[in-house]
Structure 1
Amino acid sequence: MRAVNPYLNFNGNTEEAFNFYKSVFGGEFVTVMRFGETPGCESMPETEKNGIMHIALPLGSSLLMGTDVPKSMEQVKFGTNSSITIDAESREEADRYFNGLAAGGKVGMPMDDMFWGAYYGMLTDKFGVQWMINFDSRIK
């Protein structure tokens, strides 16, 4: 397996969410495709043509990807069925990601040393996406 790439669906605010994630993780988008630029979407309502059909932001050797779900489809209901786990390379990096993602969100478990030996925390960001941030100095 080369990579595991999380794919997030949003109800029209993908661009806002991904600009937020870019501000936390850095990097540049490798892909930004809008519905209005996509073959087969010509009959889509004008109000949805500027929506994100596909976006990708590199996170280490993986990609964080996402899309806007058109209003003609069943809308996204965020819940507790998924989380994105980030294995940081240092405590400082873990804190930076955690604090950045927590801005405007809700901390479920602050970053702390855990009984299993890792430095770990959990949060839900302001877009309803759950994150687990982990740093384990025993892993190289």
Structure 2
Amino acid sequence: MKSVKPFLMFEGRAEEAMTFYCETIPDSRVLDVVRYGAGENGPQGTVKVARISIGGLEVMVSDSPVHHAFTFTPSASLFVDCSSEEELERIIEAMAEDGEFLMPPDNYGFSRRFAWINDRFGVSWQINLP
């Protein structure tokens, strides 16, 4: 086995999601992107496959040219441990824009502050201040 990585499949919004995650989560960046070319299965210029680093975690991203009857589920989520209250609040605010809270920001007893959010793309995030 060479590696295991989370894989996020979008339907036309991969570029927007990658940009958003890299702007929102500290120490995140796009590692590489392969785009659909003319005559390929996906719309030209969309993300065929990409690798991004989200806070040091390598994640694969793709735009599926096929419409699926499913999307993301909150049972698989990305867990972010923040280093400060300010960082946590900034990330929660960004993720909550056009998203939905599964657990609003609060002290649930297992950390000082925690929120669980489905972002505008349907990806589930657990934002924590240990």
Structure 2-normalised TM-score? 0.80
How far apart, CA to CA, are the structure 1 residues paired with 2:89 and 2:51? 23
Higher Cα Rg, which structure: 1
* 2:29 aligned partner: 28
1:18 counterpart SS class: helix
CA change 1:81–1:112 in 2 (3 A) is closer
* 1:109 aligned partner: 103
Where in structure 2 are there 5+ consecutive unaligned residues?
none
Question: How much has 1:22 moved relative to structure 2?
Answer: 2.2
CA deviation string 1:41-77 (max 9, x = no partner): x7524x6232201223322221233101122xx6261
Structure 1-normalised TM-score? 0.75
How far apart, CA to CA, are the structure 1 residues paired with 2:128 and 2:16? 25
1:48 counterpart SS class: coil
**Across the two proteins, how many residue pairs are aligned to each other?**
126
Where in structure 1 are there 5+ consecutive unaligned residues?
37-41
Name the Cα RMSD after superposition.
Answer: 2.4
Structure ranking higher in strand proportion: 2
